């Protein structure tokens, strides 16, 4: 590879190096028979340098170590970053989403042929943009996808993508796509959409992972466009931000074996214990996203983050003052999304949680515990059930096997299997009970949402010693998760019979439950 188009012939051959063990690969992709936009290496080196410094400052602002992500630079001119030009095999880009696949194949083929050129697990791909060269006429070609996915950032270059326009007060400066391109780069580094909290200070007016990317280059937004602490927690463990070499993305095995969400008039609280094999958990980020999420694709998800201690415990207090007014409206449904960041950079997601707002307060009281010891069920019986589907009968509720399930009838009589449904369990004798356990129908096919739709949402618990006189304990809710959920009580209960009435599901008018227990 030669660099005569970038330097004088008397200059030494570029020698790209970095002190970091892993670096961001930077590629310039352009169709066959075309050329990169003029001065692309100088221009984009300035952009990449700004991103390095900006993200390092963001990390430091939240108390993380100030570290820049790795970039290979020319030892003879360290203002120049190594950018690998790759000419495509076609004279034009492919159509629609096929363009992502096509470019990924070309880039992966290049690194397969030149393995020494790959400096880390993440790659920024600048696509040669079309148009008149101005950021105000950005991405007019619908074939160019602008996204970050699977460790690849599909970015767009144009002739005036140049830091000389950054916050210079001109129209071109206002249109500069430095922040928009960084938004997609951050996606390729595992950072999801999110936004600033309602009560964040005035110097945090816009989040880059929401709508702030397009405003980063404007004078009036200087110092007011940032990323969140949750985003920085993810970057803190990303391989290209590490100063020492160690295995990354090892996919550690883990289990959230003790977990509870509670709330009061001012705060939401979380306590969690995570047991992991391999890389240890480092950070926990909790996102609150008002439904319907598909309308804005998580752009309005506020979040909080905390660190796990050495034993895998994490606690977090999230003030309701950080919620936007529309999130506090009656019956607003909020999706809870957990992001677990491991020491090796692995990011795991747990998304099937949710709650409603009522009178400005969350209806949230959720407990999971995989470590409690349940009662022996050998003398239990299900003495009554409203309906059951053949092959998915009442005995499956207490067989100690979450892979079996009871399902209300969906064939035959059109009404008998619809909610509400109820069942009664005889514990065999009067016993002291501290709480009950529930396991939802287990989801085994990610392409089939049916099992999730029959998950129980709201239910009622009643207890009795004679199966005639019943005492209602309360109305509660279950989450759409596979883990065992628990309902504990302040004082031990004395009972022989328990009746569970299932009042609603997450979508269907029939319902299912995998397991019921007590402790």
Domain boundaries, the chain: 16-241, 253-363, 381-518
What's the average model confidence in pLDDT over 325-351? 92
- Residues facing residue 517 across a β-bridge: 437
Contact, 314 vs 307, CB < 8 A?
yes
Distances (CA, A) of 60 to 18, 181, 186, 403: 21, 22, 17, 47
Domain 381-518: CATH superfamily is: Galactose-binding domain-like (2.60.120.260)
Residues with Cβ within 8 Å of 99's Cβ and at least 6 positions away in sequence, in order, are: 93, 143, 144, 145
| pLDDT tens, position by position, 16-28 | 999 999 999 999 9
Q: What pLDDT sits at residue 371?
A: 72
Is pLDDT larger for residue 439 or for residue 91?
439
Question: Hey, what are 401's tokens?
Answer: 């096997």
How many angstroms separate the Cα of 33 from the Cα of each of 5, 29, 79, 108, 156?
A: 16, 12, 29, 21, 18
490: CB partners within 8 A, 6+ apart? none
SS (H, E, C) 166-198: CCCCCHHHHHCCHHHHHHHHHHHCCCCCCCCCC
Report residue 88 CA to chain centroid gap: 33
Strand bridging mode 152-157 / 123-128? parallel
pLDDT at position 369 over 80: no
For 182-209, write each residue's pLDDT tens digit: 999 999 999 999 999 999 887 788 899 9
CATH topology of domain 16-241: Collagenase (Catalytic Domain) (3.40.390)
How many angstroms separate the first and last alpha carbons of the chain? 69
Distance between CA atoms of 502 and 505, rounded to whole angstroms? 8
pLDDT-based confidence at residue 66 (cuts at 50, 70, 90): very high
Q: What is the mean pLDDT of residues 457-470?
A: 96
Length of the chain: 519
The first and second tokens of residue 291, run together, are 């439904």
pLDDT of 3: 42
Q: Using the predicted structure, report yes or no on whether residue 294 has a pLDDT greater than 70.
A: no
Q: pTM surpassing 0.95?
A: no
Check residue 295 and give its pLDDT.
52
Q: What span, in angstroms and rounded, lies between the C-alpha atoms of 90 and 93?
A: 7
* pLDDT level of residue 415 (50, 70, 90 thresholds): confident
How would residue 488 be classed by pLDDT, with cut points 50, 70 and 90? confident
- For 48, phi then psi, to 5°, come to -65, -35
Alpha helices in 193-249 (DSSP H): 229-236
Owner of token pair 């820049």: 68
Domain 253-363 fold is Immunoglobulin-like (2.60.40)
The encoded tokens of residue 199 equal 């009560």
- Provide the percentage of residues in the chain whose pLDDT is more than 90: 72
What is the token pair recorded at 84?
């690998």
Give the model confidence (pLDDT) of 200-250 as tens digits.
887 788 899 998 899 999 999 999 999 999 999 999 999 999 999 999 999
């Amino acid at each position: 590879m030669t660099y005569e188009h970038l330097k004088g012939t008397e200059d030494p051959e570029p020698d790209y190096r970095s002190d970091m063990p892993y670096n961001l690969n930077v590629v310039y992709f352009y169709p066959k028979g075309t050329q990169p936009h003029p001065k692309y290496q100088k221009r984009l080196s300035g952009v990449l340098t700004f991103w390095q410094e900006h993200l390092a400052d963001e990390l430091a602002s939240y108390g993380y170590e100030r570290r820049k992500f790795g970039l290979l630079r020319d030892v003879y001119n360290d203002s120049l970053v190594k950018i690998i030009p790759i000419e495509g095999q076609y004279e034009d880009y492919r159509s629609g989403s096929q363009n992502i696949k096509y470019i990924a194949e070309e880039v992966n083929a290049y690194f397969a042929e030149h393995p020494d050129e790959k400096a880390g697990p993440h790659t920024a791909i600048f696509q040669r943009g079309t148009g008149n060269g101005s950021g105000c006429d950005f991405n007019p070609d619908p074939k160019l996808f602008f996204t970050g996915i699977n460790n690849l950032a599909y970015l767009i270059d144009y002739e005036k993508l140049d830091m000389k326009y950054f916050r210079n007060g001109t129209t071109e400066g206002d249109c500069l796509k430095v922040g928009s391109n960084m938004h997609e780069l951050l996606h390729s580094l595992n950072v999801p959409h999110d936004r600033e909290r309602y009560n964040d200070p005035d110097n945090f007016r816009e989040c880059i992972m929401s709508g702030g990317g397009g405003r980063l280059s404007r004078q009036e937004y200087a110092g007011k466009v940032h990323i969140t602490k949750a985003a920085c927690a993810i970057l803190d463990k990303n391989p290209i931000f590490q100063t020492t070499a160690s295995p990354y993305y090892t996919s550690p095995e883990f289990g959230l074996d003790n977990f509870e969400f509670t709330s009061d008039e001012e705060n939401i609280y979380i306590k969690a214990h995570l047991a992991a094999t391999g890389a240890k958990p480092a950070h926990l980020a909790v996102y609150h996203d008002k439904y319907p999420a598909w309308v804005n694709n998580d752009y309005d998800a506020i979040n909080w983050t905390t660190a796990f201690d050495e034993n895998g415990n994490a606690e977090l207090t999230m003030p309701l003052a950080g919620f936007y007014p529309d999130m506090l409206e009656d019956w607003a449904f909020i999706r809870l999304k957990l992001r677990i960041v491991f020491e090796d950079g692995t990011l795991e997601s747990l998304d099937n949680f949710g709650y409603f707002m009522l009178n400005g307060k969350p209806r949230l009281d959720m407990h999971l515990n995989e470590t409690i010891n349940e009662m022996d069920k050998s003398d239990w019986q299900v003495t009554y059930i409203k309906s059951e589907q053949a092959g998915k009968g009442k005995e499956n509720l207490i067989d100690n096997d979450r892979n079996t399930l009871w399902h209300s009838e969906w064939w035959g009589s059109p009404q008998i299997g619809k909610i509400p449904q109820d069942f009664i369990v005889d514990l065999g004798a009067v016993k002291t009970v501290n709480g009950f356990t529930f396991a939802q129908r287990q989801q085994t096919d990610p392409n089939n949402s049916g099992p999730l739709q029959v998950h129980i949402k709201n239910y009622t618990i009643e207890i009795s010693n004679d199966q005639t006189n019943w005492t209602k304990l309360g109305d509660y809710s279950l989450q759409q998760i596979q883990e065992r959920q628990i309902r504990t009580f302040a004082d031990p209960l004395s009972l022989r019979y328990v009746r569970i009435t299932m009042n609603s599901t997450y979508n269907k008018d029939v319902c299912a439950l995998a397991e019921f227990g007590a402790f």
